[in-house]
Structure 1
Amino acid sequence: MIISGHSFAAIWNGIDLAAWLVDGHALQIRHANEAAARLVGRSVADMEGMPVHGLVVTPEDLIFWGQSHAGIAAGIHSHTWVRNMHSGNLVPVDRRVLAIQASEGDPADRYLLLTMQDRSEHEASQRELESLLSELRATLDSAADGVLTCNLHGEIRAFNQRLAQIWQLPRELLLRRDDAAIRVHMESQVLDAEAYRLRLAAIAHEPMLETTDILHLRNGMTVEQRSVPQLIQGRPAGRVYSFRDISRQAEVQAGLRLAARVFESSLDAIFIADERHAVARINPGCEQLLGAAAQGVVGRRVTALFAMAQDDAEFMAEVRQGWEQAGFWEGELRLRQEEDAHCCVQLSWVALRDDAGAVAQSIGFMRDLSVQHAAQKRIEELAYSDALTGLPNRLPLNKRVAAAIEASRGHGGGFAILFLDLDRFKNVNDSLGHPFGDRVLKLVAERLQGCLRQSDMLCRLGGDEFVIYLHDADAAIAESVARRVQEEMLRPFMLDEMGFSIQCSIGMSLYPQDGDALDDLIKHADTAMYRVKERGRGSYGFYQPQMNAHLLSRMKMEHAMRQALNHGHMAVHYQPQVDMATGCIVGAEALVRWTDPEFGVVSPGTFVPLAEESGYIVTLGAWVMEQAVKEAAHWMGCGTPLVVSVNVSALEFRQAGFVERISALLAQYGLPARWLELELTETVLLQDAQEMQQVLDALARLGVGLSIDDFGTGYSSLAYLKKLTIHRLKIDKSFVGGLPGDGGDCAIVQAIVSMGRALRIGVVAEGVETQAQRQALQGMGCDCYQGFLCAPAMPAADFRVRMAEPATGAKRIAKR
């Protein structure tokens, strides 16, 4: 076909088929007709020169136009979609693509003719037909009666699900076509099969006969069988049988009697109204719900039962709309009870219509919602309040602060946030139990509430943490409230005839100088509170910007500490322990040292507490333990075995599998257990004493020694010294520093040495720096010492050199 632009317009503009002339290589539209413009909602001028991809809306079309020129030129005939730009709707079309020759000299596939036929009406008709067929099938399957159609020869054309149910057709007969088997099965279900067979034969001989028969089935069902001729253009073409289970009539009657009993005995309140919507009858449940108002309710309009904000006409208009749309109306109403009392009920009002479709009666079902509303109210209270104290929680505090911030933008002003934490409240829970602690928190909440104005708000965040919002408060007001709270908390508490004291720490932040959002203000007040705790607890303080800098510094140091092991910035040094009598080195204490590229040499007094607080002490302690065991094994291999003492933190000591890990380390490096000594503080031993004793007994069975570090600085107890397998006591350097001139220090040290001798426990003095101190200790009978007088803690290599010196060579201590 050869076609030009002018001939394209002449040929195609006069027809209703949408057409485009497309450049087959550039895939651009050269010409389009008016039908195409109407179909896609674009003008002909706009489409000329437009890429044909501008018409594509489906992935399949994208694939077609994206293939090679040869593939496109091969053409296509398919159903697809195109978008009308005016309406934005997708239009179903019958699409063809055909390669054509536009003018003389052009290749045969130089141009493409794209045509589209609107299939909207066709698809709509097809959908309507399918819908009608589906409705007919659904109607047939939804019919209450079983239906069976046959042709004049008795062959079954169709039957519905109800027929299969009534005659209990087996599944295999539903899955395959076998008319004879179906008829045999139906005959077998009738009590008088022979009479049934004869009746069917008689009906078959009279094509125009209409019959009604009563059948009694073997399953006890009574069925009414009706048959009528099926006529096509006035001629009989078959027969339609319908089967109705009339045994249900008796069941319906029984059901009506049952419904009457349900009406009388239902716990729900039920009323029946007539066509004028006047109450005709109520059940006992309705009488009980109405109370005294039940007297004289019959005959009154249903609307008179309820207290409504709208008038009766508006309400009934809503009800009728519900009846029209769904057959019932449902909603919550306030039911009038005796005097001025009301209760909220859920009303479901159902319309009953006569054969003409008019409302003949209506039934209302009412359910008392008092319990449900009370529960909903309780849920809302829990959502916005603390379950224990009843105080507001974070949600109402957010709203209150947001309102205060919004108000301050108009007229200025500010407010204060106080973050309050009870000091050592864990001791109350641990010693007296959580139920007692909860009761204490209620008392605290009451006392705190008494310190505030009505415009302020007290909230409990959780645990023993409270937040106070002080409305329109500056620093002076915040400080006075904090002071008042501290004074109130100092007054003794009394519970179950037990008197006790509760101390609190308070941090304060001010709006707007300390933050412009609640989260920031609480965070800063929390930061100030922790600074108060660091300084001794039981006081209050304002937030200062440098506090964050301090926290940032701690965060940086903690991060650096966690990286130090991997980067080789940690090292274990060893401080000699010297025998008083011989002057020989008899042991060494393993001490961790940290030199950081940014922080320099970091004191153990700085990073060890940080490690304990963050929990990193477990990892760090395990590494130190392994290094110490490895070094002690090296000493033994060199012929100079020494006992190495390793400090163990409380957190590390309580780790599951601690004893097993120690045993595995000793086995890994081949170190006998007697050359390892663990140093623990008294505090560790007093925490969970029974559990600690089990761990210590396991270590003792393993052969590992135990030393009590900083003895005398904690909660000393002669009981644990007697019960536990302890090998040495270490006198803290705070007592050694005063020797020999301080009488108090001398008395304490002498008492510790004497106690050790009495219990046959070795005694080591720490921090010995002068000969006078050593001589005083020796005179008191102290066994060993360590300190700068002998040597500071030194790297492992330096310690080995020191051990190799003849004058200070190692000497084994006696086997314990």
Structure 2
Amino acid sequence: MGMGIWSMHFIAMLAFRMPIIVTYNTWIVLVSIIPAISASFLALHIISRPELKRSRAILSAVLMATGIVSMHYIGMAAMQMDAIVRYNPLLWGLSALIAFIASLTALYLMYSVKKRAGQPRLWRRKAIAALIMGAAVSTMHYTGMASASFHNRHNMGHAGDTTLSNTILAYAISIGMLVILGMMFTSTYVNRRFESQSLESERKFRSVIESASDAIILADSHSIIRSWNRGAQLMFGYTEKEAIGKPLDMTIPDRFKQIHADGLYPYLMQEPHLSPGAGRRLELYGLRKDGTEFPMELSLAGWEEEGHPFFSSIIRDITERKKAEHKINQMIYLDPLTGLPNRHLLHDRLKEAMDQADESGLMIGIMFLDLDRFKYINDTLGHTMGDLLLVEVSIRLRECVDKQDTVSRQGGDEFIVLLPGTSQEDMTRKAQKILQTFSQSVLVGGQEMFVTPSIGMSLYPNDGNNRDTLIKNADTAMYRVKEQGKNNYQFYTSDMNEVVSRRMNLEIGLRKGIIKNEFTVHYQPQVDILSGTVVGVEALLRWQHPQLGLISPAEFIPLAEETGLIIPIGEWVLREACRQNKEWQDANLPPMRIAVNISTRQFQQSGFVEVVSRALKDTGLEPKYLELELTESIVQNSVHAIAIMHKLKEMGLFLSIDDFGTGYSSLSYLKLFPIDSLKIDQSFTRNLMEDAKDEALVHTIINMAHNLGLKVIAEGVETGEQLQYLLQRHCNEAQGYYFSKPVPPDNISNLLGSVSA
């Protein structure tokens, strides 16, 4: 701008013709450039501020006019000629006024359109402004020249080394301006291309920011918000107008502001280890305009601009992610049915408790609880009722312990209670409280139930110095409670391991024994009391363990029942008994019934009738020679049991109730059962002659059975007196050591000829 004003002046001066020789002082010519450039810089700097004010426009015009006038008259002073220049004050003042008014008009016209960018035909306004500015300079120049008058004088002298000829000056100015204008146009073109690309990039960048669902916030070195996208507005509730210029921490709850400030500190301090664009990620809570809080993930990045740090915050609402994580944690660490900690969480808490106990010297208690008869409730009332019962049990257990204790469900009906910082006395008190609580009925689904716990307990570090040992020993103590009658508690002792070890060996041996044919069947005769003849035999299972020797049925049969192995073992015994009886018949021994004990699990298994039918068919034994002995517990579910028993009777089998009088079935069921006989339990027969109550019970059972049309067989007959009493009371059959112990099948032929009443 300054060089344009200066060039116009001197090119116009060179076009001015005078009758005398005119040269120019080089230094004064150069000095005249200074006011033109300085005034242009100041005027354009002032008027190009973001907000155009009238005072700034006037000041800019004054500066521009001053620069034009100063340049003109300094340039006039550079003229060296044989004449004196005088100026007309009126025209001189008019030239200055013209420069001011034209400059004001051009500048205002040019810079007032900045705020209305995008208007049509903007280039015309720019062109008009340029023409007015050119006219301002030209009009001022020629008015100034008109105000000058030249008067001859003598002894002017010739120009020295510091003068320039008109020709040289004309070429220099022309070439210089062409170069300047060429550079200016090139620079303008390049800048506009760059600005156009920058604007396009900025528009794209802004479009990306505005379309992002995450909140993107830019802030300066004072943590003041400078940019706020639509995602931020939707996330926090503040509009862009409300957010711009506000402190960034207005989006952070008070309790998290220090964490947020610590995250920003490296960027504000421009720490050297942070490379440009380096970021970090924080998880904290955000604060919405309405005061609600939400979990968010904050990604920070910083950069430097004009020596000042700036940073960006990309914020993501992670509410749904946190809910998913919480749900996953619940699935991993909590029992889905009861909401209690599962074994994973228990192990974590137990490890933490053991670390604290090592420091404090306090003990840790483990309670292992198992619900008595839960399987029966689950099987008879259904799994839904069983689940509801477990939920109620978990509630009661939590009410029996302290807040720092952990009640955990391990699976099924097993629970573990972790008692940190406890003692043996404290564990005893809590175990008694649990037993007392469960002595009261539990109401589930409108149905009253009674369920009792068996509790085994161990102490750290006395009963184990690691997690698995503690839990195993508490489990061992619980099984001892089960063996001793249930519904009680027991602390672990070292001798319990021998019992558990034997039990484990027996369970393993049971599984192998089926495969290795370690089981045999012995037979005990059943004698008709009146005639003294053998009318049948009872098949009794025997197990010869390769290391432990002969194992009592009283020891391994309950274990087989518990593990479910009784089903394959019982089926094997049934088939073996049928096969053996058929073999005796084929050897021309007198035909007789063979009695086989049927366990509860066998009887309740699906397809039991088919199992019996297949055993008879495969061995060729007629059904009338097979007797099934059922316990009272089998027929407690009378509707199901009666249906199966009728199917068995239709096949032609002989049915009896074993160990009658020891179960809990109602006597009214007897008239519904399609049975043939009752077996008096040996516990009554053994004390028949010593205990009047036992004698009365035996007499009553015999009379009741005869009145119902049933036969009676007495077990456990060991003396002649017992046999004589049974004969007098018209008992039909008897078996026991008085006649024979259970013997291998090869001895039965001898017994058939020698046994007599």
Answer whether TM exceeds 0.5 for this pair: yes
Distance 1:598 1:364 in 2: 75
Q: Does 1:673 align with 2:623?
A: yes
Q: Deviations over 1:44-68 (max 9, x none)?
A: xxxxxxxxxxxxxxxxxxxxxxxxx
Distance 2:752 2:608 in 1: 31
- Matched length: 544
- Report the CA distance between 1:522 and its aligned residue: 0.9
Alignment match, 1:309: 261
C-alpha contact 1:303 1:312 (8 A) present in aligned 2: no
1:717 is aligned, of 659, 662, 666, to 666
Q: Deviations over 1:202-233 (max 9, x none)?
A: xxxxxxxxxxxxxxxxxxxxxxxxxxxxxxxx
Q: Does 1:803 align with 2:752?
A: yes
Alignment match, 2:475: 526
Change (3 A) 1:409 1:340: same
Change (3 A) 1:456 1:655: closer
Q: Does 1:749 align with 2:695?
A: no
Alignment match, 1:682: 632
Q: Deviations over 1:380-399 (max 9, x none)?
A: 35533444444444344434
- Report the CA distance between 1:648 and its aligned residue: 1.7
Change (3 A) 1:484 1:621: closer
Q: Deviations over 1:693-734 (max 9, x none)?
A: 443333223322222211222123345433343222222222
Distance 1:419 1:755 in 2: 46
1:343 is aligned, of 294, 297, 308, to 294
- Report the CA distance between 1:474 and its aligned residue: 3.4
Distance 1:589 1:311 in 2: 85
Which residue type is aligned with residue 344 of structure 1? P
Alignment match, 1:766: 715
C-alpha contact 2:219 2:248 (8 A) present in aligned 1: no
Q: Does 1:792 align with 2:741?
A: yes
Which residue type is aligned with residue 261 of structure 2? A
Alignment match, 1:652: 602
Which residue type is aligned with residue 262 of structure 2? Q
SS in 2 for 1:794: coil
Which residue type is aligned with residue 337 of structure 1? R
Alignment match, 1:242: none
- Report the CA distance between 1:479 and its aligned residue: 2.5
Change (3 A) 1:600 1:309: same
Alignment match, 2:525: 576
SS in 2 for 1:645: strand
Alignment match, 1:555: 504
TM-score (norm 2): 0.61
SS in 2 for 1:485: helix
Which residue type is aligned with residue 338 of structure 1? K
Alignment match, 2:592: 642
Alignment match, 2:641: 692
Q: Does 1:591 align with 2:537?
A: no
Q: Deviations over 1:279-334 (max 9, x none)?
A: 56654x65453236766124558786565233657458999x999879x9987564
Distance 2:538 2:478 in 1: 38
Distance 2:653 2:440 in 1: 50
Change (3 A) 1:772 1:330: closer
Matches of residues 170-209 of structure 1 in structure 2 within 5 Å?
Answer: none
Distance 2:662 2:533 in 1: 28
Q: Does 1:289 align with 2:238?
A: no
Q: Deviations over 1:643-662 (max 9, x none)?
A: 11111222233344433333
Alignment match, 2:731: 782
Which has the higher mean CA deviation after the structures are superposed, 449-458 or 632-641? 449-458
Q: Deviations over 1:327-360 (max 9, x none)?
A: x998756444237654333568999xxxxxxxxx
Change (3 A) 1:786 1:429: closer
SS in 2 for 1:537: coil
Q: Deviations over 1:494-525 (max 9, x none)?
A: 66777655432221112222110011111101
User: Structure 1: which 5+ runs fail to align?
Assistant: 1-252, 352-360, 810-816
C-alpha contact 2:209 2:216 (8 A) present in aligned 1: no
- Report the CA distance between 1:586 and its aligned residue: 1.6
Distance 1:365 1:441 in 2: 48
Which residue type is aligned with residue 559 of structure 2? L
Q: Does 1:508 align with 2:454?
A: no
Distance 1:438 1:597 in 2: 42
TM-score (norm 1): 0.57
C-alpha contact 1:508 1:528 (8 A) present in aligned 2: yes
Distance 1:350 1:314 in 2: 10
Distance 2:445 2:608 in 1: 42
Which residue type is aligned with residue 505 of structure 2? K
SS in 1 for 2:368: strand
Q: Which has the higher strand share?
A: 1
Q: Higher relative contact order by CA 8 Å / sep ≥ 6: 1 or 2?
A: 2
2:572 is aligned, of 616, 619, 623, to 623
Q: Which has the higher helix share?
A: 2
The percent identity for this pair of structures is 36
Change (3 A) 1:773 1:518: same
C-alpha contact 1:273 1:302 (8 A) present in aligned 2: no
Which has the higher mean CA deviation after the structures are superposed, 621-630 or 676-685? 621-630
Distance 1:571 1:312 in 2: 82
- Report the CA distance between 1:430 and its aligned residue: 5.2
Distance 2:335 2:270 in 1: 41
Distance 2:560 2:295 in 1: 61
- Report the CA distance between 1:578 and its aligned residue: 1.9
SS in 2 for 1:628: helix
Change (3 A) 1:440 1:797: closer
Change (3 A) 1:336 1:587: closer
Which residue type is aligned with residue 289 of structure 2? E
- Report the CA distance between 1:641 and its aligned residue: 1.1
C-alpha contact 1:739 1:772 (8 A) present in aligned 2: no
1:538 is aligned, of 487, 498, 507, to 487
Distance 1:289 1:388 in 2: 36
Distance 2:384 2:647 in 1: 36
Distance 2:695 2:735 in 1: 18
Which residue type is aligned with residue 603 of structure 2? F
Distance 2:234 2:512 in 1: 75
Distance 2:447 2:575 in 1: 50
SS in 2 for 1:472: strand
- Report the CA distance between 1:426 and its aligned residue: 4.0
Q: Deviations over 1:577-622 (max 9, x none)?
A: 2223322222111222344564444332223223323333233323
SS in 2 for 1:309: helix
- Report the CA distance between 1:808 and its aligned residue: 5.7
2:614 is aligned, of 664, 688, 697, to 664
Q: Deviations over 1:29-49 (max 9, x none)?
A: xxxxxxxxxxxxxxxxxxxxx
Alignment match, 1:183: none
Distance 1:656 1:330 in 2: 61
Distance 2:604 2:447 in 1: 33
SS in 1 for 2:532: coil
